Amino acid sequence: MQDLPVTIPPQEHAQAAAIERATGTPLAEWTARLDAAGARELGHREIARLLVDRHGVEEWWAQGVTVAYEQVVGLRVVGQTCEGDFAVSASRTVPRDRDAVLAAWSAFMTPERREDLRLEEPAISETARWRYWRTSGLDGSRASINICAKDEQGGRPRCTLAVAHKGMEDADQREAWKATWKQTLTDFTDSLDTTTDTTQEQR
């Protein structure tokens, strides 16, 4: 079978190494298998289900392989969800407990700051494990700040504060929000009186 054109060489995809480690199969091989199964004509859920049912891939990694495949063959661009809109995520690890981090974040996100960011009044909720600070953007997007505990370090509690922002219309809007959240999280961690460096992730 002749190879079909790709937008990104599979071996150059950002998640190629992680996918191969988790599934034992290179992304290039997954791309060939899915192409042979006619996956370019299937929807996201159908591709993921094919990976689970036919190849025994765990559901979590079936989603990851599906997203990577869709990006490789041009069915999806980076940051685009299976619904067709765009999303961005970012996180910091902060050396405080969940309630302290939520209180600090709530104090940091003043009405003036929310107005500058064009964010609406937040809703705050919690579960036994998580603390949530959710809001909507005036552009129609939706952001959730999710706070959960991590292992202690040096006897001090630590938390992950993660931003999950969805519902953006295009890649340009996503890039704008990505830069905005990166700066906002930097400003937040800089505002804390900590003696331990924070760590960060961007996707």
Would strands 156-168 and 142-153 be described as parallel, antiparallel, or unpaired? antiparallel
Q: Which of 43-57, 79-93, 110-124, 132-146 has the weakest average pLDDT? A: 79-93
Query: How many whole angstroms separate alpha carbon 18 and alpha carbon 28?
Result: 13
Whole-angstrom distance between the N-terminal and C-terminal Cα of the chain? 34
Is the predicted pLDDT of residue 55 greater than 90, yes or no? yes
pTM summary value:
0.65
pLDDT given for residue 8 in this prediction: 84
pLDDT tens digits for range 98-141: 999 999 999 999 999 999 999 999 999 999 999 999 999 999 99
User: Domain locations in the chain?
Assistant: 10-72, 86-202
Q: Which residue in the block uniquely carries the two structure tokens 């949530």?
A: 132
pLDDT tens digits for range 64-79: 899 899 889 988 877 7
pLDDT given for residue 201 in this prediction: 46
Other C-beta atoms closer than 10 Å to the C-beta of 152 total 11
Residues 6+ apart with CB under 8 A from 105: 133, 145, 147, 161, 188
Fold of 86-202: Double Stranded RNA Binding Domain (3.30.160)
